[in-house]
Amino acid sequence: MNCTDFSSARLAQLHAFDRPRYFHGQLLDVRHFESEQEYFRGKLWLINRLIHGYGVVCGLDVQAAAAGGANVVVTPGLALDPWGRDIVVASDSKSIAIAPREDPSQDKDKKASYDAAGQQQEYCDGEDDWVHVVICYRECATGPEPVLSAGCNGDPNCTYGTTRETYYIPEPRPGKAPKLDFTPRFRDPFRSRPFDYCELAEWVTRSCAPCIDEGQDPCLPLASVRRPASECDIEDIDICVRPIVYGLDLLFEIMLAAGIEPQSRRGAKS
């Protein structure tokens, strides 16, 4: 199996799409079929990225490993990465090692804090005492098959016949994952009556940023993990740093929780 971390960054940018146009007597080769796959993949990723957004769809919890020690695992689930590619984890991931933190009593640069009565309090963690776990899209070439005829480029006698869309989890990155920004990016269109449709029109028109920088990190943060002294505990894991995808089912649940009575279908009269 031969794996690559990323596929073409061009598919993560806004561009015109070309699809093959077949005709009778056409000599088909690999490039025709690859361009057809690229067309459908690019369209799907574009819709995911600009309509659904990116983040965790379901699952992908980060938990202390059952075997104990300073290890965590990622449970099964689904996510969309910032490029719009779907990341599927079908079973628990391999254990992810978390480097234990240093004993603050052995570090002269880290001082213990004391309460009003002069009693020493539990050591207050700094940024260096945290790491964060990310998950990344990966494609792996698999399914080796014999090559029946060599091409002009000197193809080998055996090559891979299948591309598996999978994932990988790199080593935990230092520090906490960046905080999510929940600052509203447009004014309240309901602040005036009647409904201010122009507010939404201006937002859609002027907020489009579909082009992805090829240098942008397409990996998705899942959790910040406090480096344990010995073994990981659920209290050491913060999953609130993960972005999520606000699907229709989730938005409906939010409406119910907010006490918003769902309206009847369009055109129906009560």
User: What is the tens place of the pLDDT at every residue in 98-107?
Assistant: 988 765 555 5
Question: Of 96, 97, 98, 101, which is closest to residue 127 (Cα–Cα)?
Answer: 101
Helix (H) or strand (E) holding 251: helix 248-257
* pLDDT tens for each residue of the chain, 270 residues long: 778 766 666 767 788 888 999 999 999 988 999 999 989 998 999 899 888 989 999 999 999 988 777 889 999 999 999 889 999 999 999 999 998 876 555 554 444 444 455 554 454 566 678 999 999 999 998 988 888 766 555 556 788 889 999 999 999 999 999 988 888 777 776 666 677 788 788 888 877 765 566 667 889 999 999 888 766 666 789 999 999 999 988 988 888 888 877 666 555 554
pLDDT at 183: 81
| Beta bridge pairs of residue 135 | 220
150: left (phi over 0), alpha (psi -120 to 50) or beta: beta
pLDDT at 115: 47
Question: Of 186, 197, 233, which is closest to residue 68 (Cα–Cα)?
Answer: 233
CA-based radius of gyration for the chain: 25
pLDDT at 120: 46
Q: Measure Cα distances from 107 to 175, 202, 211, 232, 265 in Å.
A: 18, 54, 46, 21, 64
pLDDT at 14: 80
User: The pTM is what?
Assistant: 0.80
pLDDT at 236: 84
Length reported for the chain: 270
Residue 110 to residue 101: CA distance in whole angstroms = 12
Q: How far is CA 129 from the centre of its chain?
A: 24
Helix (H) or strand (E) holding 38: helix 30-47
pLDDT at 109: 47
pLDDT at 90: 95
pLDDT at 223: 95
pLDDT at 58: 95
Query: Per-domain residue ranges for the chain?
Result: 2-184+219-257
